[in-house]
Structure 1
Amino acid sequence: MMDDFASETDSDYTSYWRDWFISSRGNEYFCEIDEEYLTDRFNLTGLQTEVHYYQHALDLITDVFDLDCEDDMRETIEKSARHLYGLVHARYIVTTRGLVKMVEKFKKSDFGKCPRVHCDSQPLLPMGLSDVPYQKSVKLYCGRCEDIYNPKSSRHAQIDGAYFGTSFHNILFQVYPALIPQKSRRRYEPRVFGFRVHAGAALARWQAEERTDMRKRLKDANIGLDTTKLFIEDIDGQDSETNEEAIIKANTVEVPPPSTTVR
């Protein structure tokens, strides 16, 4: 990742680390963290144990790194610096200043637009499915359809979701309620030659799916094997209605007709 600065000296490289990180391809989702926030030790509480070479990584981010080391060591510190920046970034973007910067990127659609047709290119927001690093990659949240999507670019798909957290997108809409998009009530209706598909067909598909799901749940739970043997196994490929009739018959108690006395 240092190819862009191969012709620069070490001092030039360390003087522009944050600018280089933000402008690197694949890091468009990140905003620049204020130096005042990075130099406040309170904001970095608990990160010392999560990042290798923590102090060297922090020095690199804050442009005071002056350690003379080999290339392998520098690469390791560089990797730690990127990880530390991401963890601090998750904390920074929920602050007042951080939210302002992310809102500016949101309005410019820097995070992409919703691929759903009926959302009319609604701008997306980055979010994580876990606050723990190395668990889930970053996802994109649409405030109109309230669904999440994978990033289009493979570079963005490799970003750790913990660098944005699970609460950022909800906090942003709470602080800026005017940015909450109006929900779309339009839904796709399947049609054949311009005519809507009959509701009975959709109901039949739903019933078939529920029947298949019920078979699986009964088989997994090992419930009622004696009375539902035909229903579960269906080895001979019998019609499902025939199996259901067999179950009803097996669970029906026949009541004898009342006796009559002939006089």
Structure 2
Amino acid sequence: MEQDLESSNYSESDVSTAYWIEWFLSLKGNEFFCEIDEDYINDRFNLTGISAEVPHYQEAFALMTDNLDAEHDLDNLPENVRMEIETSARHLYGLIHARFIITTRGLVKMFEKLRHAEFGRCPRVLCHNQAVCLVMLYCPRCEDVYAPPSRRHAVVDGAYFGTTFPHLLLQVYPQLMPTKSNDRYIPKIFGFKIHGNALEQRKQDEVREEQRKRILAIPGSEGFPQD
């Protein structure tokens, strides 16, 4: 899902006072992105296959790299076309970002973000504020994923980070891997653990309900006697 331009307070005057990438990274909701090295972006080998996925690729690339010239002048284009090119530039940066962060240099930059908990912390109480990684938000302690608490982060396309990144990062930097915890939440009533028989009874009821639904799904079945 591409970010809504209106939600990022886009204005041409903002872009003109800063480099495009610097401006893009400063937008609210883009805190998870790192800055891609310029030499990586300019190496066309790293961009193989991306042009087919990005409308207005040439203009978007020129805008993203601050290389607009007479050939790629946006001032004379209709407003809707300029907005399409801006959207394509964001999409292009995201696709390149997904490739960059699994390189040695990209992993170093994302390592620093994780080390400073810039992606947030696991909401699970028994993970004790463990810093999370990406793919939604991945907690390496409980090995579960969570939706970002902020809406502006929730709308960022997961393809801009990929599913490989968090696990590769933890392989390259094993010191980030937390000690696994055997702590589990124990349900209690007035401070007392629920007896195992009660839990077993509930499980039996669930199994019986599943069996009842399967029987009722059979044509001509009358179900269980009490149904």
Question: Match of 2:208?
Answer: 211
Aligned counterparts of 1:21 and 1:164: Cα–Cα separation in 2: 16
Which ranges of structure 2 fall in alignment gaps of 5 or more residues?
Answer: none
Question: Match of 1:257?
Answer: none
Cα displacement (A) at 1:198: 0.3
Contact 2:101/2:107 (<8 A) preserved: yes
Question: Match of 2:167?
Answer: 170
Q: Which of the numbers 179, 203, 223 marks the counterpart of 1:230?
A: 223
Q: Which runs of 4+ in 1 moved over 6 A?
A: none
Aligned counterparts of 1:51 and 1:57: Cα–Cα separation in 2: 8
Which ranges of structure 1 fall in alignment gaps of 5 or more residues?
Answer: 128-138, 238-263
1:191-224 per-position Cα deviation (integer Å, ceiling 9, x unaligned): 122211100001111111112122333444x3xx
Q: Evaluate the alpha carbon distance shift between residue 89 and residue 204 of structure 1 in structure 2; reply closer, same or farther with a 3 A threshold.
A: same
Q: Which of the numbers 36, 48, 52 marks the counterpart of 1:49?
A: 52
Aligned counterparts of 1:162 and 1:26: Cα–Cα separation in 2: 15
Contact 2:212/2:223 (<8 A) preserved: no
**1:86 corresponds to 2:85:** no
Question: Match of 2:131?
Answer: 123
1:71-130 per-position Cα deviation (integer Å, ceiling 9, x unaligned): 322211100000011111110100000011101111111111000000001011111xxx
SS of the equivalent of 1:86 reads helix
Aligned counterparts of 2:47 and 2:13: Cα–Cα separation in 1: 33
Cα displacement (A) at 1:141: 0.3
1:213-245 per-position Cα deviation (integer Å, ceiling 9, x unaligned): 22333444x3xx67x6332xx6x54xxxxxxxx
SS of the equivalent of 1:141 reads strand
1:9-65 per-position Cα deviation (integer Å, ceiling 9, x unaligned): x7x35x511001111000011001011010011100001110000111111111112
Question: Match of 2:144?
Answer: 147
Q: Which of the numbers 110, 115, 121 marks the counterpart of 2:118?
A: 110
Paired AA for residue 192 in structure 1: I
Correspondence 1:44-83 to 2 at 5 A:
44-66=47-69, 67=73, 68=75, 69-83=77-91
Equivalent pairs counted in the alignment come to 216
97-106 vs 204-213, greater mean Cα deviation: 204-213
Question: Match of 1:182?
Answer: 179
- Report the TM-score when normalising by structure 1: 0.77
RMSD: 1.9
Paired AA for residue 174 in structure 1: Q
Q: Percent identity?
A: 52
Cα displacement (A) at 1:70: 3.3
Q: Evaluate the alpha carbon distance shift between residue 217 and residue 230 of structure 1 in structure 2; reply closer, same or farther with a 3 A threshold.
A: closer
Question: Match of 1:158?
Answer: 155
**1:100 corresponds to 2:108:** yes
Question: Match of 1:251?
Answer: none
Decide which structure has the larger Cα Rg and report it: 1
Aligned counterparts of 2:9 and 2:140: Cα–Cα separation in 1: 38
- Report the TM-score when normalising by structure 2: 0.88
Higher relative contact order (CA 8 A, sep 6+): 2
Contact 2:102/2:165 (<8 A) preserved: yes
Contact 2:64/2:89 (<8 A) preserved: yes
SS of the equivalent of 1:213 reads helix
Aligned counterparts of 2:216 and 2:140: Cα–Cα separation in 1: 40
